[in-house]
Structure 1
Amino acid sequence: MSLFEGIRALLQFTTIFPIGRSADFDAFAERSYLYPLAGYLIGGLAALPLLFIPHPIAAAAIALGLLLLFSGCNHFDGLLDLGDGLMAHGSREVRIRALTDRQVGAGGVALGLMITLISFGALSSLPFIPMAVLVAEVSAKASMASLTALGRPFREGIHSYLFWRGRPWFVLPAWALTLPLFLLPIQQLAIFAALFGASVTTLVLLFGGERLFGGINGDIVGAANEIVRAVVFLSLLIVTGY
């Protein structure tokens, strides 16, 4: 199975873009370190119209809307499910049941609102919104790749399918694919802070998922995309001092 087929399967899995006939999903499962490539595409396409929108509040709102649209809201759905799981009271089984329930409760709404407000507030305060969108989306996808490679699944599903076909060392090429971000015309310290924030958040989700739910599932991996994006926006804001 070719690398090109793996990229096609990745884009069909993570975006709403028409990528032709159905790709062989195994080609991506055996190369899940390619996740950041989807971040470059999604983040780059979302950033393009922002170059022509001078008002930061409007630009931030449009950026977040496009990111949700291009991903088909799949990762946001995982964020809502994680919120329900975190707010559930009782045993691990109760938390897992809340996490995997398709109904959205107050915990999901609260976490969804919180992450969206943080993302919007931080992004609209940055002086380089288009580049911040690209940095955040690539970092978020590196986080997803890491959780996919390292997060022991607690149930059968898409995550377990990817996990058992991946390898722990996939983490290294996944983060290596973020290195071109340092070529962007913004402070290198800001890029470093963004990647540091993304990696710390990934570890929190990895160990937190293990402690609270007994492992990781696709909802937590998807939620990581939204949470890490918000953390990256905050990290960029703190470092640049705006």
Structure 2
Amino acid sequence: MRSVLALFQFCTSLPLGRPVEFEHFARRSYLYPLAGYLIGGIAAIVTFWIASPPVGAAVAIAAVLLLSGCNHFDGLLDFGDGLMAHGRREKRIAAMTDRTTGAGAVAAGILVTLLAFSGLQAVANIPLTILTAEVCAKTAMSWLTTLGRPFREGMHSYLHSFAKPWFLVPAFLLTLPLFLLPLPRLALVLALAATAAITAFMLVLSRRVFGGVNGDIVGASNEIVRAGVILLLALA
């Protein structure tokens, strides 16, 4: 339970009492999807009573961002700056890790948010979609934590140092309760497949552009996978 509490304190802005030692979660980063159930579940409850699709979509996106303290969204902005920077790898890393916000950050934030917002308006059930997308997003974070070779010291390198290859399996198993939801089974299978595909893409892109993975890239994957799964469920 201390591992779960440490996870929730790390991934959410909820007031959860005295801080638990972070190492409890670091040793069990395969628990990431549980944070998806918590954040996505609260967002689903908040939007359940909203009949207007545009309003429901906006509230759902706002809920997951606020509940996560915008930490992963900040990673998306930094990733956008690094990706759009010109020059050698060192210059891209510097652009991603500095404190300024450039055009790449703004573009990444707007594009990913617009895609998620437009997709949510088109789905049949916003609450179930935001829950599914959030669990998939946290699963991607777990997989990247396990597979992503760090290119610098930081939060990601600390979590990665405890991760084991077998962490991929329990992280995936924690997504299986999604199949209890009243959603088409094929759509859920495709959502998990998209999660794996986007994770693999982020790994390859990050190694090529930055030489590895850091916390910003893991956070960016959360936002990108959420938007990607929402769009997929809208099309399905």
Residue 132 of structure 2 is aligned with which of 131, 135, 139? 135
Q: Which residue of 2 aligns with 1:7?
A: 4
Equivalent residue, structure 2, for 1:115: 112
1:204 corresponds to which of 201, 204, 209: 201
Deviation at residue 9 of structure 1 after TM alignment: 0.5
1:98 aligns with 95
Q: Which residue of 2 aligns with 1:168?
A: 165
The Cα shift of 1:173 comes to 0.7
1:28-87: CA deviation from partner (whole Å, max 9, x where unpaired) = 000000000000000000110211100100000000001100000000000000000010
Mapping of residues 217-228 of structure 1, within 5 Å: 217-228=214-225
Aligned twin of 2:152: 155
1:137 and 1:93 map into 2 onto residues whose CA distance is 32
CA shift for structure 1 position 101: 1.0
SS of equivalent residue, structure 1 residue 200: helix
Q: Does 1:19 align with 2:28?
A: no
Find the aligned partners of 2:71 and 2:213 in 1 and give their Cα distance: 16
Give the secondary-structure state (helix, strand or coil) at the position aligned to 1:203.
helix
CA distance in 1: counterparts of 2:81 and 2:118, whole angstroms: 24
Give the number of equivalent residue pairs.
236
Instruction: Decide which of 202, 209, 214 is 2:211's aligned counterpart.
Output: 214
Instruction: Give the drift of 1:102.
Output: 1.4
Question: Take 1:235 and 1:195, find their aligned partners in 2: how far apart are those partners?
Answer: 10
Structure 2 unmatched runs, 5+: none
Name the % identity. Answer: 57
1:122-142 per-residue CA deviation (whole Å, 9 max, x = no partner) reads: 011111100000000000000
SS in 2 for 1:148: helix
2:76 matched residue in structure 1: 79
Root mean square deviation, CA, Å: 0.6
Superposition map of 1:30-109 within 5 A: 30-109=27-106
Please identify runs of 4+ aligned residues in structure 1 that moved more than 2 A. none
* Structure 1 residue 198 displacement after superposition: 1.1
Q: 2:81 & 2:155 partners in 1: Cα distance?
A: 20
For residues 136 and 175 of structure 2, the distance between their equivalents in structure 1, rounded to whole angstroms, comes to: 7
1:229 aligns with 226
Q: Which of 143, 146, 150 in structure 2 is aligned with 1:146? A: 143
Aligned to 1:124: 121
Q: CA deviation at 1:228?
A: 0.2
**CA separation in 2, counterparts of 1:108 and 1:168?**
32
For each residue in 1:165-186, what CA deviation from the matched residue of structure 2 results, as whole angstroms up to 9, or x when unmatched? 1112111111110011011001
Please state how far the C-alpha of 1:19 moved relative to its aligned partner: 1.4
Deviation track 1:107-130 (CA, whole Å, cap 9, x = no partner) reads 000011000000000011111100
Deviation at 1:16, TM superposition (A): 0.6
